[in-house]
Amino acid sequence: MKRIEPELAVLLDPDWASGSLVDDVRRGLTRHPRTLPPRWLYDDHGSALFDQITRQPEYYPFNAERAILEAHADEIVAASGATALVELGSGTSEKTRLLLDAFTRTGQLTRFSPVDVSEGTLRDAAAQIADAYPGLEVVGVVGDFTLHLSHLPEGGRRMVAFLGGTIGNLYLEERSAFLSILADLLEPGDSLLLGTDLVKSTDRLIAAYHDEAGVTEDFIRNSLTVINRELGADFDQSAFTYIPFWDAHMERIDMRLRSEVPQRVTVPGADLFLDLDVGEEIRVEISTKFRISKVAAELEAAGLVVGRVWTDEPGDFALTLATKP
């Protein structure tokens, strides 16, 4: 079968990152508690660190989700009835190949559309997918899935895959808005395959985000490195301690950097200075954990109907397939 040259639609203008970073820094660091959106963790160095995180012995989500796909990809593909696969936040699409393999066995898939903010990563991944799956149309989208859902490729019966537990990085109101917008854009018969990390013992959760090798700490600290580099800020890494903790009320891991000294930080690129007290924290990322009933309730509130749920054998992670009626 002949290889089809992949296509790429670039929806982000060249100044998107710098402008968005300034907006996020001004908005997030001047509120209380101070926050930074996690998307600024994923520069080239941050992406490499995250890849290392997934290979740490304490970090179970990656392998748990992969185990579900290895065991149930054929069932997922059959239940979806999809002829087009869209992947949000695709990165290298490593685990998605298990779905693509299953689709190849049925011969029902005609198009794969990975969506990611990194043009370089997406070009490489799209080319590799096109090489590995001759005859498959690969139409990549360089965009932010929180901003560009309305630009997802149309046509065919689509299954949108949102894997890795990434939905847990969104706050409740953000999740609600995201799922509602996505559901509105889906056509009847289209589906969403959603990966969610499940609630478990506090010790295991904390360990997963505070690995012995310190890779997750380096990853979270990278947010300050990005601001120093891109906006000329003078954050001193040694003045902060990495603090991951379990918020039992919200059922989420909260990853913060705590100021250990009173300090003034200047951010020239955002025309901003910050006075931080001892003990004041910057929240860099959250990772919400779910119960299967909670996942179903949020999907149904958005207008989707839950069809099937698959978990790994220990019950650490879930994949939920929900359809637009």
Cis peptide leading into residue 33 (ω within 30°) = yes
Kindly list the structural domains of the chain, giving each domain's residue range(s) and its CATH number in brackets, ordered by start: 7-11+58-200+290-323 (3.40.50.150)
Q: Kindly list the distances between the CA atom of residue 230 and the CA atoms of 27, 40, 227, in Å, as whole numbers in the listed order.
A: 17, 11, 5
Give the pLDDT of residue 279: 97
Place of tokens 């290895």: 70
Any residues with CB less than 8 A from the CB of 82 and at least 6 apart, and which? 103, 108, 109, 156, 157, 158, 159, 190, 191
Burial of 131 (0-12, 13-18, 19+ CB in 10 A): exposed
Q: Cα torsion for 198, 109, 73, 205, to the nearest 10°?
A: -20
> Cα(111)–Cα(322) distance, rounded to whole angstroms?
20
pLDDT in tens, the chain (325 residues): 789 999 998 887 766 666 789 999 999 999 989 999 888 888 778 888 988 999 999 999 999 999 999 999 999 999 999 999 999 988 888 899 999 999 999 999 999 999 988 888 889 999 999 999 999 999 999 888 888 898 999 999 999 999 999 999 999 999 999 999 999 999 999 999 999 999 999 999 999 999 999 999 999 999 999 999 999 999 999 999 999 999 999 999 999 999 999 999 999 999 999 999 999 999 999 999 999 999 999 999 999 999 999 999 999 999 999 999 9
- What 3-state class would DSSP assign to 310? strand
C-alpha count within 13 angstroms, C-beta hemisphere, residue 106: 20
Round to the nearest angstrom and report the end-to-end CA distance of the chain: 35
> Cα(313)–Cα(325) distance, rounded to whole angstroms?
30
Give this prediction's pTM. Answer: 0.94
